[in-house]
Amino acid sequence: MLTTNPFEDDKLREECGIFGVSGAEGAAALVALGLHALQHRGQEAAGITSWDGAHFHSHRAMGHVAGNFDREEVMGALRGQVACGHVRYSTTGETALRNVQPLYAELATGGFAVAHNGNISNAMFLRDDLVARGAIFQSTSDTEVILHLVATSSYRDPLDKFIDALRRVEGAWSLIVMTPQGMIACRDPLGIRPLVMGRLDDAYIFASETVALDVVGADYVRSIEPGELVIVENGKLRSLRPFGETRPRPCIFEWVYFSRPDSIAGDQSVYSVRKAIGAQLAIESPIDADLVIPVPDSGVPAAIGYAQQSGIPFELGIIRSHYVGRTFIQPGDQIRRLGVKLKHNANRALIEGKSIILVDDSIVRGTTSLKIVEMMREAGAREVHMRIASPPTTNSCFYGVDTPEREKLLASRFNVEGMTDFIHADSLAFVSIDGLYKALGEAGRNDMTPRYCDACFTGDYPTRLTDHDAIDQLALHEAAE
């Protein structure tokens, strides 16, 4: 099988999206709609769990929400006024049904379902300890660690058990949890992964992005604060902050690429921030050219900002077909090479003989950028300049983003000159880290108190990386031997 989008095989991918409803008839149907809006955050699998006041009901499946949760027999079985769901792109654990969330278990305190966006950076350490004490894991997902920690907590109250479990995990976690007592939505103390709250009549809605609230007709209320637990019981809402005060570090890549442009993140329009990044890029890295062309679709807002700031015309030099499926059978190498043009093709009449500026959100391995530049040259472009609406991605992410090992990141292997040669561009430039912060309304990046998690650009990880450090130590020990 062949992915027909040549520009999606070299992107950083968010692990998942989560959506929960408490207090609405047909809650599972609303969850399915919300997950449709979050499909971009995870396309490998989807799941929904509901609670009807007496029993939990679950359906999990590989693939997209459409085709799995648009069947009457499936949705009819997901009864109740409370439900949560999950779309998955795996960063830990194999691609298998047993890892599809929400994960569910029968605990001493009753049923417990959890949907998780993020990555627990000490999951291996905790898992080894739990297994040594007799725990039996049913998945390879880091999320299952939370279930076992809750089950083995010495506290008696279910909420205290949950808080006790969260105190032991490191990394990034936005969670929606369902128990017979109610629904809990929470974020890790640094707020690395997003989670928002909305209202739909008398129901409370929780989602990874505001666009999912829009789709179900809910009003956006606010973001769940870093370190906050929002609890809905019997239609009443209360908030707890059991982890003390911390300086938030939300993932800066939500504004660069992950979130849909029609979402609000941190009370800012994602679309407007991306335009501002493009404008800042034009200020920092101007070039004389005929056209500004976005790499579809994620490069569009930044390209508009670049064009408006520079005064160079914005044009669609790469045309995307929206009527092609994700895959098709590949009968041979020649057809495979031609297949990429089914979904994206150069607008030759526009490009031929022109000096162009291509604007994209990031460069990861560099293979995609090379394909794009080659496509433009084959279409007759006189010069191809690349401008990137984020700083060079030099470090891997350990907080729920599928990132190649550091040695496979182009920016960790080459300086900008070397990267320019690799992608065969006439020039290449990235927005600076200070410029990225300015586009978000900050004065710049203060190295002592950064406002965001920008570790993929700076290597400044805001939490301990217990599992990663242990692997590094093991590798050093084996090399020494």
Instruction: Classify burial at 154, counting beta carbons within 10 Å of its beta carbon; exposed 0-12, middle 13-18, buried 19 or more.
Output: exposed
CB-CB contact of 104 with 55 (8 Å): no
E strand residue ranges, 26-138: 45-51, 56-62, 82-88, 103-107, 110-120
Q: Any idea which residues carry the catalytic annotation?
A: 16
Q: Return averaged pLDDT per consecutive 10 residues of the chain, 481 residues in all.
A: 42 81 97 97 95 97 94 96 92 74 96 97 96 94 96 96 98 97 97 98 98 98 97 96 93 95 96 98 98 94 98 95 54 51 85 98 94 95 98 95 88 98 98 97 84 96 93 55 56
| pLDDT at residue number 1 | 26
**CA nearest 226: which of 196, 253, 206, 184?**
196
Q: How far apart are CA 190 and CA 171, in angstroms?
A: 9
Is the pTM for the entire model greater than 0.85? yes
